[in-house]
Amino acid sequence: MSLLLHWFRRAATTPSWIEPAALAMRLEREDPPIILDVRGPDEFTGPLGHIREALNMPLIELPAHLPALVRENRPVVVVCKTDRRSSMAAEQLQKAGLSDVSVLRGGMEQWQVLGLPAT
């Protein structure tokens, strides 16, 4: 029974995924999600660039910003270089109380491969 309970708890904190092309389309709508890029500042401004609308909030700084993000109560898409750090950040956001959290599948590497706009 405890294994089943553990699985349900884990499923409740597992973030959803969004494909880069789907995110690009969502950014064109009137109510785009918050794009949270959890890479360091050097990566944010580095060769892969960043999504124009993204807020740079390195993973290590995320805990200090959780209350404000929860109060904002908007959908959030978390981005990093691949999708490892963003997955960890998404779990933190969900545990803090945000329900609409997604991870950009493949991160900025995949965004660039598809030729989507980056700054």
The model's pLDDT over 59-84, given as tens digits with 9 standing for 90+, comes to: 999 999 999 999 988 999 999 999 99
Look up the CATH number of domain 15-113.
3.40.250.10
Domain ranges for the chain, please list them: 15-113
Non-local (6+) Cβ contacts of 104 within 8 A are: 17, 18, 20, 23, 77, 78, 79, 83, 86, 110, 111
Q: Does 33 have pLDDT greater than 50?
A: yes
pTM of the model: 0.87
